[in-house]
Structure 1
Amino acid sequence: MNVGAGAGGRQWGRGVLREVLRRTAEGLGIVLPEPDSAPPSAARYVDERLGRRVTVYPPREEMTGSRPWAVYPRGGQCGDLWVRLESHGVIVAGGWSAEPTEAVRAAVAWMSGAGLRETRAQAPCIEFRPWALVHEQEPLGAVELAWHVKLDRYHTSDWGRFPRTNALLVAAYAQPALRRLTPITSHFNVWFSTRIEPSEKKQVGFGLWEGQVGYGLFPHDERQYGVRRRDGELVARTGTPEEAVALVVAALPGRP
């Protein structure tokens, strides 16, 4: 059964999804934690002690109060529920659930402390990448984790409509000299920083980021890949992301 809106479907107004999930859990004879109050069209469950969070979103066309491209992965089943699992603020897994039952089982398993594999056994819709399993067993370093989260963001979400940014990230991650730096993105441009934590300044863009190192990469620079200095001056335009990244690596401080 598809849970989307439309002919024969539900209308997911404010609070409706939470009530549907509550009744589904009740019918299954399992206890679903109390959701918090935000976002208004979704159902979010939080356990501060475990550092875990589950958010169940309504079908894409029914989402309110958020920009869909910031929530839903690309090319998903728009009539289904999107279930997202987080651990200590990091999105580690997610999946499209055609039935409220599967969304409930995923939420209950994750919030009870189950691992990724155990949660997927309860809710087969849940998917995750190998790095998430590694991180679950032994937490990755902050910079390495930042790379995986960034690569996943551009690969799996509607940001994937911008494959040139993803291509720059992939090419940069292949370079050890850049992999030790934190990747930063804004307006689909890419640059690198020695700082792990984000800047406290609001709307900080290229050239203003604290700890910024070297050149920046611009995926849409006169239909080519642009390489620019911190003040915006053009260094070069290239036809491939690998060529652009090579210029950034060659100009890093301390390089021969």
Structure 2
Amino acid sequence: MPIPADPAVLYPDVVACGSLAAALRAEGRLGALPVTPSDSAPLLHATVGSTLPHREPLQISAWLHERRWSICGTEPFQGVPLVDGVTDELTEVARAARAWHDGAELDDIRQVASFVHLTGRFEVPEPDPARLTESEWQGKRREADELEYAWRETYQAVVEAAHAEPALRALYPFTSHWALRFSTTTRPRLTVVGPSLTAGSDGTYGVGSGFVTPDLGLFATPHEAVAVAVRHLPSGLGPVALGG
């Protein structure tokens, strides 16, 4: 593992300001914005609050081995990211921080700071489990579409087939080791229900009663796999509830 560089070497401008928070204020003319330095590593980490109650403070972190910064903006009910991104331009970070703070739409944040990546999830102002479930499905579909692995097409196919099935779309989706699974509650406390769906690099689709092993069968199409998964759902499932 590479030895982390001295922050004074990678970030002399930040060191001169005394903290990443102060450097952001200077770089972006952020004025009185709530930019908070990290207590443990003020040169490397800072957060920027938002005027919107359904946004957590934007997390900003400096890389240790090269001059870059990453951001992550999450929602408060589950702690899942709405936006993230990496850039080597502190001015761009400041622009994203200003837009996040001011309550700009997620698409507009991307417009003012081109490095910002939208996860696909949308903002849910109130802890509504149905909307949080819909948002998570949208995030899973975006994630599948953006994969760079060789088996992206098969994985995307099984995600889309599951989303097209009303019985599965009504459940909260999550993944573990790229196995698509389902819950009757949202994060942070998932309640796993039904089988898992997997996509193989050989073009087959698996259904498993447990974690990854396709003990319920391998199928040539994602629709066959989804049909089997639906048949193995327990009866009497109600609407998704808040997890915790």
TM-score range for the pair, normalised by the shorter chain length:
0.5 to 0.7
Aligned to 1:239: 220
The code of the aligned residue for 1:35 comes to: P
- Aligned amino acid, residue 248 of structure 1: A
Tell me the SS of whatever aligns to 2:122.
helix
Q: Structure 1 CA distance, aligned partners of 2:121 and 2:214?
A: 37
SS of equivalent to 1:103: helix
Instruction: State the TM-score, normalizing by the size of structure 1.
Output: 0.63
Closer, same or farther: CA 26–187 of 1 in aligned 2, 3 Å: same
- Distance in 2, matches of 1:235 and 1:220, equals 15
**Corresponding residue SS for 2:81:** strand
Most deviating of 17-26 and 167-176: 17-26
Q: TM-score, normalised to structure 2's length?
A: 0.66
* Counterpart check, 1:183 vs 2:185: no
How far 1:144 moved relative to its partner? 1.2
Distance 2:222 2:140 in 1: 17
Q: Which moved more, 1:167-176 or 1:108-117?
A: 108-117
Q: Does 1:229 align with 2:209?
A: yes
Q: Does 1:56 align with 2:46?
A: no
- Three-state SS of the structure 2 residue aligned to 1:52 is coil
**Contact 1:35–1:45 under 8 Å retained in 2:** no
Q: Secondary structure at the match of 1:173?
A: helix
**Alignment check: 8 A CA contact 1:154 1:160 kept:** no
Residue 72 of structure 2 aligns to a residue whose secondary structure is strand
Cα distance in structure 2, aligned partners of 1:173 and 1:155 = 14
Q: Is the 8 A contact 1:18 1:43 kept in 2?
A: no
Q: Does residue 35 of the first structure (1) align with residue 37 of the second (2)? A: yes
**Cα shift readout 1:228-248 (whole Å, capped 9, x = no counterpart):** 224967221123333322221
Question: Does the 8 Å CA contact 2:136/2:172 hold for their aligned counterparts?
Answer: yes
Report if aligned partners of 2:198, 2:206 keep a CA contact under 8 Å in 1: yes
* Equivalent of 2:48 in 11, 30, 45: 45
Indicate the residue corresponding to 1:93 in structure 2: 83
> 1:80 & 1:52 partners in 2: Cα distance?
22
CA displacement at 1:173 relative to structure 2: 0.9
* Structure 1 residues 18 and 29, CA gap change in structure 2 (3 angstroms): same
SS in 1 for 2:10: coil
Is the deviation greater in 34-43 or in 235-244? 34-43
Q: Is the 8 A contact 2:93 2:113 kept in 1?
A: yes
Does the Cα contact within 8 Å between 2:74 and 2:83 map onto a contact in 1? yes
Deviation at 1:28, TM superposition (A): 4.3
The alignment covers a number of residue pairs equal to 219
In 2, the alpha carbon distance for the partners of 1:193 and 1:54 equals 28
* Structure 1 residues 122 and 183: CA distance shift in structure 2, 3 A: closer
Kindly tell me: are residues 45 and 11 of structure 1, through their superposed partners in 2, closer, same or farther at Cα, counting changes over 3 Å?
same
What percent of counterpart residues are identical?
25
Structure 2 counterpart of 1:145: 135
